[in-house]
Amino acid sequence: MTTASDTPSVRDALRLVQDELAGAADGLQDDQLAALVTEIQQAGRVFVTGGGRSGLALRMHAMRLMHLGLTVHVVGETTTPAIGSGDLLLVASGSGTTAGAVAAAETAVSVDARVVALTTDGGSTLAGIAHSVVVIPAAQKTDHAGTASRQYSGSLFEQALLLVLDATFHTLWKVDGIPAEDLWPRHANLE
């Protein structure tokens, strides 16, 4: 049984998360990140999909891309149209083998859409389908050994995914040079 003196504090856990995120960020490949930005810039429309917390991170990214004025759709929503040629699918799966993510990528490729995969495994099925891959150096959710991350399940992947996507938005925003006050009117007013 763990005693109060053995239990790490929230501050200790925060330091662990920060340190692991810094390590993951340092392991990202600049050419992969640049390709992600280029794919978004060249897309007619952007579609996002991912399961669980990965999907939530992508939904947050979709919102930010919409703030930039891009046409963005979340796969699975009732108003999401068919993906087609000239479109981009951003798909995240830590393992790169999630059935829904792989199926979505296969469908996108079959209609001549582009696919960017964000995963921990550059040799995965999903990575093999994608036109561009961003490998996030983090543990998969089934890796319980604690060697790649001491956090629970796929937490580091999901956290790093969110930061990569936010940094991508920031880069696109700065490249476009749109003042923040011009983005503000695109924020939701029906909440």
In the chain, count H helices and then E strands: 7, 5
Indicate which residue of 20, 106, 158, 191 is catalytic.
158
pLDDT tens figures, 41-85:
999 999 999 999 999 999 999 999 999 999 999 999 999 999 999
pLDDT tens figures, 114-147:
999 999 999 999 999 999 999 999 976 666 666 6
Active site residue 158: yes
